[in-house]
Amino acid sequence: MRSLVSGLGSQLRSAASIALPALPDANELLILGMGGSGISGDYLAQIASAHGARISGHKSYGLPGWAGTRRPVVLAISYSGNTEETLSGVEAARGLDLAVVAVTTGGALGEVASTEGWPVVNVPGGLQPRAALGHLLGTAAMIAAGSGLIPSPAPDLEEAADLVDSLTEADGAGWALASDLAADLSTRAVIVYGSTGLTAPVAQRWKAQINENAKRPAWFSVFPELDHNEIVGWAADPGVNRRLGIVTLTDRDDGARVSSRMRITREVTAGDVDWIGEVRSQGESPLARMLSLTAVGDMVSVALAEASGIDPMPVAPIEDLKNRLREES
């Protein structure tokens, strides 16, 4: 997983030059996908919003109620091609005769796309879905551009790739920062704070990577909403709070009021929260800034796993749950 995390930059670079099939023109894109595949939709929704384009993610069965009237192009992303929620959305899209584009390594999604003649982009196989973020997100961004919704993301993917490479180089400063954070978090459950906009989906990615790679409980919350509820909970029994640590992700576009909220939140909870850290985005484009934070989170999750002698790769509970659901279908 350490080398896969270090490979994020080269995945982004290779996505920037992929050959796309002919794509439908889109006024709007609806991205279906779960977990390590679906997070690409959340990232892309933020990138699109910076361009005034409408891209949204759907992480459940079927389609949102508005799909039949707004008729978005549906982009189904499933690394395995066998995720039942995503397949259910694809089935609903077929029923509504919506244009569908697939990103996958094969599976049932690859089969239905080939039967229906839908455009498919095959990404390299043999990885864990969450370790294929550069391929999945990069490809989805290229498809959004190919459908006319956003300008070509290739320059931003290149910028992000260079930045991520510098952060994740072996024995570099990025891994040292990750090890320091992991040391502070090693005895704590982690809560990752982002803010509405670019860092919210990155906070979700940090949470998921810590869950799956380090096999630890972690959650994420988002400013400004968390100031309207979560801060009250920090007044709990210190025996609970002492087992928790907060990492706040910051970005230059957080805005003055959210930055003030972050500072004041820290001040008013300082006596109750046992450990608070901060990681700031780097880079110029929104994509590069999101991916710089992502790279640090990925490295922290691996450093946490390694420090506890845990293999970051397998995710047995996810596989077991999928198998049990399959037996019941």
Stretch binding ligand F6R (CB under 6 A), from 124-132, 230-238, 245-253, 257-265? 124-132
Q: Which of 79, 175, 206, 220 binds ligand F6R (CB under 6 A)?
A: 79
Active-site residue (options: 85, 159, 212, 230) = 212
Q: For residue 222, what are the CA distances in angstroms to 49, 191, 212, 259?
A: 18, 10, 21, 13
Task: Choose between 9 and 35: whose C-beta lies nearer to ligand F6R.
Answer: 35
Q: How far is the CB of 81 from ligand F6R (least distance, A)?
A: 7
Contact call for residue 298 and ligand F6R (CB under 6 A):
no
126 φ, ψ (degrees, to nearest 5): 85, 10
Contact call for residue 315 and ligand F6R (CB under 6 A):
yes
Contact call for residue 35 and ligand F6R (CB under 6 A):
yes
Q: Which of 5, 8, 32, 34 binds ligand F6R (CB under 6 A)?
A: 34
Task: Choose between 190 and 246: whose C-beta lies nearer to ligand F6R.
Answer: 190
Neighbours of 19 (CB within 10 A): 6
Output helix, strand, coil percentages for the chain, rounded to the nearest 5.
55, 15, 30
Helix, strand, or coil (residue 104):
strand
Distance CA 122, CA 223 (A): 36
Contact call for residue 120 and ligand F6R (CB under 6 A):
no
Tokens linked to 252: 């230059």
Q: Which amino acid is at 226?
A: L
Task: Choose between 282 and 301: whose C-beta lies nearer to ligand F6R.
Answer: 301
Draw the binding track, 206-235, toward ligand F6R (x: CB under 6 A; -: no contact).
------x-----------------------
Residue pair 213/1 in contact by the 8 Å Cβ criterion: yes
- Edge-first strand order for the sheet with 189-195 is 218-223, 189-195, 244-250, 275-280
Size of the site for ligand F6R (CB under 6 A): 15
Contact call for residue 16 and ligand F6R (CB under 6 A):
no
Stretch binding ligand F6R (CB under 6 A), from 32-40, 159-167, 187-195, 197-205? 32-40
Q: How far is the CB of 286 from ligand F6R (least distance, A)?
A: 23
Contact call for residue 80 and ligand F6R (CB under 6 A):
yes
Tokens linked to 258: 């959210």
Active-site residue (options: 228, 267, 327, 328) = 228
Active-site annotation holds for 322: yes
Residue labelled with tokens 């210190």: 238
Task: Choose between 154 and 318: whose C-beta lies nearer to ligand F6R.
Answer: 318
Active-site annotation holds for 212: yes
- Residue 72: asked if its preceding bond is cis (omega within 30°), the reply is no
Q: Which amino acid is at 186?
A: S
Residue pair 77/32 in contact by the 8 Å Cβ criterion: yes
Neighbours of 62 (CB within 10 A): 15
Q: Which residues bind ligand F6R (CB under 6 A)?
A: 34-37, 78-80, 83, 86, 128-130, 212, 315, 318
Q: Hey, which residues are catalytic here?
A: 212, 228, 322
